[in-house]
A = this chain, B = another copy of it.
Amino acid sequence: MNKITNYTALVFIVTFTACDSKTKTENTETTSLNNMIFPRGEKITNNNFTGTAWLSNLIQSDSINQNSVGNVTFEPGARTKWHAHPAGQILLVTNGVGYYQEKGGVKKILRKGDVIKCAPNVSHWHGASADTMFVQLAITGREKGETVWMEEVTDADYNN
Residue A106 interfacial (CB < 8 Å) = no
Complex Cα spacing A94 to B58, Å? 13
The answer on a CB contact under 8 Å between A141 and B67 is: yes
The answer on a CB contact under 8 Å between B112 and A37 is: yes
One digit per residue, 1 when the CB lies within 8 angstroms of any chain B CB and 0 when it does not, for chain A 85-109 equals 0011010101100000000000000
Determine the chain B residues whose CB is within 8 A of the CB of A120 once the complex forms. 64-65
**Set B7, B12, B92, B117: member contacting A137, Cβ < 8 A:** B92
Pick out which of these stretches binds chain B: A24-32, A76-84, A126-134, A152-160. Answer: A24-32
Residue A69 interfacial (CB < 8 Å) = yes
The answer on a CB contact under 8 Å between B67 and A90 is: yes
Determine the chain B residues whose CB is within 8 A of the CB of A3 once the complex forms. 4
Complex Cα spacing A90 to B92, Å? 14
User: What are 25 A-B pairs at a CB distance below 8 A?
Assistant: A3-B4, A4-B4, A12-B15, A15-B15, A19-B20, A19-B22, A19-B23, A23-B26, A26-B26, A30-B30, A30-B31, A31-B34, A34-B34, A34-B35, A37-B37, A37-B94, A37-B95, A37-B113, A38-B92, A38-B113, A64-B88, A65-B87, A65-B90, A67-B67, A94-B94
User: Which residues of A does B touch, CB under 8 Å?
Assistant: 3-4, 7-8, 11-12, 15-16, 19-20, 22-23, 26-27, 30-31, 34-35, 37-39, 58-59, 64-65, 67, 69, 87-88, 90, 92, 94-95, 112-113, 115, 117, 119-120, 137, 139, 141
